[in-house]
């Protein structure tokens, strides 16, 4: 079904699109949030009124064109309404990941020079108040959840209800003020200061204009259509560019119903209640879902396990041969499994932000989930490639949208080189960082992505191998992609994260983090006693189980790319420790620095590496860790 979208040349800002929808479909539901177990709906008219009062309230506080406003908290209707309200006054929003540490929050606030912070609740307000001395630019802190806020007396604090009252009073005084305000906005205004992932350095803020973003979304919707009233569940962090594309841009253009879960811990249960028509989930979530399904089969009877394995083999073979799921496997196990996951109504599912392992991809495609890989960068308005519904190649990220250009620079003999791209929605530059802009974008508007890839000659699909800086070469001259091997290993339900090493080394090794909940269940069934993550990961039986998983992956790899040694790390990799970005990508430079002694031990003759370190928990408490990591040498 081809749906006519509003003319984005006319409705070239988010507030204009919202006003258009509110005028023409005032009573249609557009936002839904679960609170205390009950789904509460907001219509386009209610959404418009909320945004209008936020915008007029901000104007009463002296916030106008060019002002930067920060938003921090879980995905909520107030988040997106605050964003559009800031855009209406001519300001620029930047999202702060809700699990950011104080120093990360302070860095972004000062970088943007934010005068106002819209915070969800007491937890996020505390973060801002604790860095008061570091952020003198902040004049107002507006919170939406009043619970626990009575004890505060900081003059900068204001509830969202107070702000809305100010806005309502302004509207009563001048009923035409808001309409005049949004009419003055134009598509070339910077609407979003979107933080980059910060894989190799501190995040930069990419300046994204509403008009170009909406034009780019027109091409996106041609490649992956939506229909008015389609349900989308917003679970990925709103500061991430792709959640902005889905929950803000596409929602406004197509009149989607955006659903907000009650808590991050309830997201899969809430998703099942909604039964969305399309989803966007990070690779980690897809990996976790696949691992959970496999873990549940551990508790099944031997006959059920046999049926499951038979259906998996049959489904993967059927998809490989015909490009379609096996009907027998679908009716035996995959249809009820899709129902359980909440995927029965899915017409489109996407994954992006990092590479998804081909084994995980095959698993969901064989189940009949219409999963597609997307690829892009913050600076290029998120995704600009996708698989067509009838042309899914799990080794690739699909083909470019109409209007997007991609080329491969400096290809080697296999056609592998750096991916260079441009599209209509790309950023206008990095905020307050002209030098970085010049380094990234050339005079013709092409941006160097820093990723290595090539086009498949048989179907024109783009294959992304890894970050150029992460592609490694062993001392023997074997070139390999750590990410590719890591993704194959993470298909195991027992492995949560893994870092493959070997650059300029004689062979490959790996540091593995177990998936604690599943390994714990597996250990309990076998009567293996343990007390915590550290103790469980040191168990001989766990090492033997992971060794079998590594052996299985090694059997699929060329000899030069096989893991020769591995160990089980004593902790999970954590964004709070700087080991992962807030979008859950591994910071390899940090890993090499923090775990240098352990890495050296992997390449020594020792079969055990002593560890004596201190770990810090989320509440600030610390604990000393004294253990010995066993090094397993694989028989190749």
pLDDT tens digits for range 494-528: 999 999 999 999 999 999 999 998 899 899 888 99
Chosen domain end from 429, 456, 488: 429
Question: Total structural domains in the chain?
Answer: 3
Which two tokens mark 485? Answer: 């091997």
Pairwise CA distance, residues 62 & 58, whole Å: 7
Pairwise pLDDT comparison (290 vs 442), residue with the higher score: 442
523 neighbors 533 (Cβ within 8 angstroms)? no
Q: Establish if 194 belongs to a structural domain.
A: yes
Distances (CA, A) of 582 to 156, 433, 556, 566, 570: 28, 22, 31, 26, 21
Pairwise CA distance, residues 245 & 350, whole Å: 13
In terms of domains, do 179 and 62 share one? yes
In terms of domains, do 573 and 478 share one? yes
Residue 618 in this model has a pLDDT that exceeds 60: no
pLDDT per position as a tens digit, 255-270: 999 999 998 888 888 9
| Residues 536/537/541/543 CA torsion (nearest 10 deg) | 180
- Domain range holding 540? 472-633
In terms of domains, do 367 and 489 share one? no
In terms of domains, do 186 and 116 share one? yes
Q: Establish if 399 belongs to a structural domain.
A: yes
Pairwise CA distance, residues 553 & 561, whole Å: 10
Residue 294 in this model has a pLDDT that exceeds 80: no
pLDDT per position as a tens digit, 573-615: 887 788 887 777 888 888 999 999 999 999 999 999 998 887 7
Which two tokens mark 164? Answer: 């809305």
Residue 617 pLDDT class (50, 70, 90 cuts): low
Q: Establish if 451 belongs to a structural domain.
A: no
pLDDT per position as a tens digit, 88-108: 999 999 999 988 888 889 999
Distances (CA, A) of 273 to 39, 269, 290, 310, 414: 10, 7, 20, 30, 47
CATH code for the domain in which residue 111 is found: 3.40.50.980
Q: Establish if 454 belongs to a structural domain.
A: no
529 neighbors 541 (Cβ within 8 angstroms)? no
Helices (H), 9-101: 14-24, 44-60, 77-88
Distances (CA, A) of 410 to 5, 414, 473, 479: 39, 11, 18, 17
CATH code for the domain in which residue 551 is found: 3.30.300.30
100 neighbors 72 (Cβ within 8 angstroms)? yes
In terms of domains, do 424 and 489 share one? no
Q: Establish if 55 belongs to a structural domain.
A: yes
Q: Establish if 441 belongs to a structural domain.
A: no
In terms of domains, do 244 and 288 share one? no
In terms of domains, do 193 and 73 share one? yes
In terms of domains, do 50 and 196 share one? yes
Which two tokens mark 163? Answer: 């702000």
Distances (CA, A) of 493 to 360, 490, 544, 545: 11, 7, 15, 11
Give the pLDDT confidence score for residue 620 in this predicted structure.
60
125 neighbors 157 (Cβ within 8 angstroms)? yes
Q: Residue 63 in 3-state DSSP?
A: coil
Q: In 10 A of CB 510, how many CB atoms? A: 27
Q: Residue 557 in 3-state DSSP?
A: coil
Buried b (16+ CB within 10 A) or exposed e, 589-612: ebbeebbeebbebbbeeeeebebe
pLDDT per position as a tens digit, 460-491: 999 998 889 888 898 888 889 898 899 889 88
In terms of domains, do 626 and 542 share one? yes
Q: Of all residues in the chain, what percent carry a pLDDT higher than 90?
A: 64
pLDDT per position as a tens digit, 147-185: 999 889 899 999 999 999 999 999 999 999 999 999 999
Give the pLDDT confidence score for residue 1 in this predicted structure.
46
């Amino acid at each position: 079904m081809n749906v006519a979208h509003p003319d984005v040349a006319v409705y070239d800002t988010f507030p204009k699109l919202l006003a258009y929808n509110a005028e023409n479909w005032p009573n249609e539901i557009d936002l839904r949030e679960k609170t205390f177990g009950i789904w509460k709906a907001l219509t386009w008219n209610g959404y418009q009124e909320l945004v209008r009062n936020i915008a007029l309230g901000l104007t009463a506080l002296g916030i106008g064109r060019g002002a930067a406003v920060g938003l921090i908290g879980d995905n909520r209707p107030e988040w997106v309404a605050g964003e559009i309200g800031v855009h209406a006054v001519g300001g620029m929003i930047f999202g702060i990941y809700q699990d950011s540490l104080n120093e990360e929050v302070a860095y972004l606030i000062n970088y943007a020079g934010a005068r106002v912070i819209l915070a969800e609740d007491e937890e996020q307000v505390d973060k801002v108040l604790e860095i008061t001395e570091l952020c003198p630019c902040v004049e107002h802190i507006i919170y939406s959840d009043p619970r626990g806020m009575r004890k505060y007396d900081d003059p900068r604090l204001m509830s969202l209800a107070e702000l809305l009252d100010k806005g309502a009073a302004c509207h009563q005084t001048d009923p035409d003020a808001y309409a005049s305000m949004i009419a003055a906005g134009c598509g070339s205004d910077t609407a979003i200061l979107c933080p980059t992932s910060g894989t190799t350095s501190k995040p930069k803020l990419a300046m994204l204009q509403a008009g170009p973003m909406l034009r780019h979304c027109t091409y996106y919707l041609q490649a992956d259509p939506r229909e008015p009233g389609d349900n989308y569940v917003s679970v990925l962090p709103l500061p991430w560019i792709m959640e902005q594309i889905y929950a803000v841009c596409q929602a406004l253009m197509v009149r989607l119903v955006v659903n907000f879960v009650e808590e991050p811990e309830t997201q899969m249960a809430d998703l099942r209640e909604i039964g969305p028509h399309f989803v966007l989930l990070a690779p980690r979530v897809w990996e976790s879902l696949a691992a959970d399904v496999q873990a549940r089969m551990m508790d099944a009877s031997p006959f059920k396990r046999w049926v499951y394995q038979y259906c998996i083999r049959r489904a993967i073979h059927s998809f490989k041969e015909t490009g379609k799921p096996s009907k027998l496997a679908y009716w035996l196990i995959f249809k009820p499994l899709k129902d359980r996951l909440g995927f029965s109504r899915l017409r489109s599912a996407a994954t992006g932000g990092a590479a998804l392992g081909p084994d995980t991809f095959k698993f969901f495609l064989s189940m009949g989930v219409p999963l597609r890989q997307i690829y892009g960068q913050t600076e290029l308005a998120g995704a600009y490639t996708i698989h067509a519904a009838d042309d899914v190649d799990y080794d690739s990220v699909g083909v470019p949208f109409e209007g997007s250009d991609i080329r491969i620079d400096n290809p080697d003999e296999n056609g592998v080189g750096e991916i260079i791209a441009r599209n209509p929605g790309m950023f206008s530059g990095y905020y307050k960082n002209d030098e970085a802009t010049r380094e990234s974008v050339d005079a013709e508007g092409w941006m160097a992505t820093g990723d290595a890839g090539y086009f498949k000659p048989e179907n024109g699909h783009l294959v992304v191998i890894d970050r150029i800086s992460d592609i490694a070469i062993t001392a023997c001259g074997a070139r390999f992609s750590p990410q590719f091997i890591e993704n194959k290993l993470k298909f195991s339900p027992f492995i949560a994260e893994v870092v493959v090493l070997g650059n300029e080394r004689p062979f490959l090794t790996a540091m593995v983090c177990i998936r604690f909940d599943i390994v714990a269940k597996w250990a309990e069934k076998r009567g293996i006693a343990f007390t915590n993550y550290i103790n469980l990961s040191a168990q001989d039986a766990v090492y033997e189980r992971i060794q079998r998983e590594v052996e299985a992956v090694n059997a699929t790899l060329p000899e030069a790319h096989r893991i020769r040694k591995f160990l089980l790390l004593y902790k999970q990799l954590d964004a709070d420790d700087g080991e992962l970005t807030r979008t859950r990508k591994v910071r390899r430079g940090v890993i090499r620095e923090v775990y240098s002694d352990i890495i050296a031990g992997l390449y020594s003759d020792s079969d055990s590496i002593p560890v004596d370190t201190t770990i810090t928990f989320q509440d600030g408490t610390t604990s000393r860790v004294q253990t010995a990591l066993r090094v397993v040498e694989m028989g190749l």
